[in-house]
Every structure is written in C-alpha cells, then in structure tokens.
Structure 1
Amino acid sequence: MTLRLIGAGLPRTGTTSLRRALGLLLDAPVYHMSEALAHPEHAPTWVAAIRGEPPAWEEFLAGYAAGVDTPFSTCWRDLAAAYPQAPVLLSRRESPQVWLRSMEPTVLARTRDTLAGGEKTDPLVALFGSIFTGVLTDLDDPAEMMADYERHLARVRAEIAPERLVEWQPGEGWEPLCRALDVPLPDEPFPHENSTADYLLRAEARRRAATARREQGPSTRPTLPRSI
C-alpha cells in the first residue's frame, strides 16, 4: 500500500474527524498522533525524521493509506516529495484565533504536562518535545502562535502546486476529499469527533486515574493517552 493523501494541517483542525473520514473513503488505516501514542516504538523514527533524517517511508508507513495530524504534518514537506502523486491536504480553522482557542486547553496543555512530568528516557516525551519543531516557535506566546499558524499555511500554499493542494475546514464535509481522491460521496454523515469538550472530558478522566494511582502507591508506569 502507498500513501494516497498527505495531511499537512496542524492539530485541532479537524484531524481526528479526518482520520475517521479518510479511513472510510480509503478503506485502510490513516496515520494520526493517536497511532504514534499507541506505538511508542515509532517515536524515535519520527524524532529523527523531524531532525532531517527520514526513514524509508514506504517501509515505515506500510499499511497506511494516508496521514493527518502531527507528527505526520510536521514532516509534510519530506512526505510530499516522497509521494509526488499524493494530494496534500491542508486542513485549517476559520481563523488563527479559533484555532488557538481550541489548541490551548487541549494539545498545548497536554504537551506541557507531558514535557513537565514525563521521564526523559520515555520515547514519547522526546516525541512531544519535537513535534512542533520548525512549525511553532513559542508555545507560551499567543501572538507568536497565531503568526506561526499563518506562516505554516503560507508555506504549504507556496510549495505545493495548486492542482495538488486540497484546502479543507471542519464543516466542509466529504466533497473536497472525495474530489481529490476521485472516490464517490458516501451515503452517510461526515464524522465529527474529538471536540474540545470531548477532549477535556478525557483529560479529566486521565487526571482522576493518575490521582488514584498515586494514592495507591508505586506501580508500573502509566500509559500516555491515545489522543493528544
């Protein structure tokens, strides 16, 4: 299996819904941050790729038909070169302000917590420390974050040929994806997954579980969440 679509959109641009939608359209797995979290053995490969030492993508991504979200989108440029026939999907929100409001209590909070509390030897801590390299310069500066978001969109638009680029926002549904992939429109509603409210509910459940483990005393190292 070869990649049929490359997601260049940043987290909190509908990427979890896109993972589900593309999986239905392509009838195959779609890489997403949840895959990296479920497979910590992938982390060193992503960290190396982000540092400019990409793997043999066909081997590493064997079995996946597409990829969205970070760390996949952090490597969009190299992946676009490796798969020149695949459309590049630039998912985005209606404004930088809307995107940042979604990022702050979810992905950014989880990233800070992981970097502050994780073990340095944990490969996923290294991954969280690398996933925004070259994309977001200061996670604690809202103005810089929004400027970085705009710069990311501009870079993808400048480097990907218009006929290859697919821009998509949550709410636009199936049609742009089906047109890019040359597949029929499904006869079912577009999936809507991982809202900010859903994310925060899971985060609270993780905090309660972590508190319970601490109260019970030392045990095995807790597993990081399957979705950032």
Structure 2
Amino acid sequence: MKVIVAGLPKTGTKSINAALTLLGYEVYDWLENFWYLGDDWVRQIRGGFKVEDMKRMFENVDAAMDNPCCIHWEEIFDAFPEAKVILTVRDEETWYRSLKNHFRALNNDIMFRLMLAITFTGRRLNMFLVETALPRTFYDMTSRRPWPWEAFNLRNKEGNVKLFRRHERLVKQVVPKDQLLVYQVKDGWKPLCDFLGVPVPDLPYPHKNKRGKLMEEMKKQNPLMGQLVKEFKISLACLCIVLAIGLYITITLVPW
C-alpha cells in the first residue's frame, strides 16, 4: 500500500482515482473493495479490525479510497504506517450540496436499484453497502435498511458539516505532516506529483463525476460495473421469459 486517500466522497475522489490510475497506480475504489475484498470488510466491521488482515487485504494494492476505506483509513494506516495519505478537501457548502445531489441521483437510478434487487452480484453488493456504507460507520447508525442511503439525514446540513469537519481534523491530527497532502483537485498535477515523487504527465488532469454522473460513467467505463450490468440484462431476460411462459400457460391451459 503506497497511498491512502482519506477524503470523504464528493471531495473529488473519482478525479484523483483517475489521476492515480494514469500515474500507474493500481487503485481500489468502492467497487473494487466490494468485488475483491467485500467479505473481508464485512467480517472486520462485524468482528473487529486486525492489522494482519489489513496487511493481507491490501498488500498488492497501490492505493485505496472511498467507502469503506475513507472511513477506516486509520485502520489501513496502522497496517501500512509508511503509506502516504491524501486528504481531498472541498468547500463545505459545495460539498454538502454535491452530497445531496449524489444520493438523490442514486435513489432515482431505477436501473441501479433493480440491479441490486434481481441479480446475485447486485444482492451481494447491496448487503456490502448496508454493512459498510457511511450511515452505519461514519454516522454510527445501527439500523440495517434495505436501501442504505435512506439512512442519511441529508436535510440536516449542520450535522453533516460537523461530521465533515471532524473527519478532516482527525486526519490532520493523526498523520505526520511529511506523509500528508491536503489536496483539492483544482490544484492539478503538480502538488500531487511532487508529493508522490513522480514526474508530471503531459496529460490534462482528469475531472470525473461532474454533476453527479458517477453511475453513468461507471456503467460505461468500469469493467466491474460492466459485469454487473451484463448480469442484470441476463437476469432481466430470464425474468421476462419466465413471465412469458407463465402468461402463456395461464391463457392456453387454465380453464376459464
């Protein structure tokens, strides 16, 4: 583990994911954490974190970010104390507004909700999100709702901003200054590359998830999400066939 991105969602994490990937790092975002490490994360959250388990989980990973890593960044840092930590930050007002838009978009994404409901992998993903998502960990909520983001009290701006500030303070207090970069994606390549000790690439800095388009981007670009979409289409086709057969039997064989 070389880099831990401790910034909360909606602080430019998808952009820095793309930037680190362009720099040659293997990055585990929330979807990779589910796909490859989901059972490990659920086991640790339920039973307590162990340094040796964290070392095993991330020994071949260059960078980790987003949920649940941004909440449990300290447990990862305990296992990899030489890692560099990037705290992505953002103006509080803009962050809160973006957070609300993000979860509103997720709640309104009918295809994504159906994927979580009717596919095997989708149901596993939903269980992972219920167990590890921010409402259970960052917000210290104990209820296991079938749709985890419903647990957010997004109307409570003051409470959300307090949690945002508390998270930033903790990262700054714990991480040694020479291992910490407080970073805004608008700063571009130079401070990031200087911190990592790598040359600045001759490429525009990537800007992802603009205006809450995360799921649309991931469905098109992320191979793991692509696999989930493929599974959804197969499940939907099978469901349509079963319904068609049931309708045919009902019409032709059942006496009226």
Match of 2:165 among 150, 153, 170: 150
The aligned residue for residue 53 of structure 2 is: 56
CA distance in structure 2 between the partners assigned to 1:127 and 1:152 by the alignment: 22
The DSSP-based 3-state class of the residue aligned with 1:185 is coil
Quickly say closer, same or farther: Cα 1:22–1:42, change in 2 above 3 A: same
Quickly say closer, same or farther: Cα 1:91–1:101, change in 2 above 3 A: same
Contact 1:7 1:91 in 2 (8 A): yes
The aligned residue for residue 135 of structure 1 is: 138
Match of 1:21 among 19, 22, 25: 19
Give the TM-score normalised by the residue count of structure 2: 0.68
Structure 2 matches for 1:1-228, cutoff 5 A? 3-25=1-23, 27-37=24-34, 39=35, 42-51=37-46, 52-54=48-50, 56-95=53-92, 97-107=93-103, 110=106, 118=117, 122-129=123-130, 130-132=132-134, 133-137=136-140, 139-140=152-153, 141-199=156-214, 213=236, 217=240
Deviations 1:21-48 (A, max 9, x none): 11222x23101013135x1x52221223
Quickly say closer, same or farther: Cα 1:152–1:191, change in 2 above 3 A: same
> Letter of the aligned partner of 2:79 in structure 1?
A
Contact 1:108 1:139 in 2 (8 A): no
Contact 1:7 1:89 in 2 (8 A): yes
Contact 2:5 2:66 in 1 (8 A): yes
Contact 1:90 1:156 in 2 (8 A): yes
Contact 2:86 2:183 in 1 (8 A): yes
CA distance in structure 2 between the partners assigned to 1:218 and 1:6 by the alignment: 46
**CA shift at 1:170, angstroms?**
2.0
CA distance in structure 2 between the partners assigned to 1:46 and 1:125 by the alignment: 14
Give the TM-score normalised by the residue count of structure 1: 0.76
Contact 2:98 2:212 in 1 (8 A): no
User: Structure 1 stretch 140-149 or stretch 54-63: which is displaced more?
Assistant: 54-63
Specify every segment of 5 or more residues in structure 1 that has no aligned partner in the other structure, as ranges: 220-228
**CA shift at 1:160, angstroms?**
1.3
The DSSP-based 3-state class of the residue aligned with 1:84 is coil
Contact 1:9 1:92 in 2 (8 A): yes
**CA shift at 1:109, angstroms?**
5.3
CA distance in structure 2 between the partners assigned to 1:115 and 1:77 by the alignment: 31
Quickly say closer, same or farther: Cα 1:20–1:69, change in 2 above 3 A: same
CA distance in structure 2 between the partners assigned to 1:46 and 1:24 by the alignment: 27
**CA shift at 1:63, angstroms?**
3.3
Contact 1:94 1:169 in 2 (8 A): no
Q: Which has the higher contact order (CA 8 A, sep 6+)?
A: 1
Aligned residues: 209
- RMSD, matched Cα: 3.4
Deviations 1:156-215 (A, max 9, x none): 111112222111112011122212211111111111112124237569x99xx99xx49x
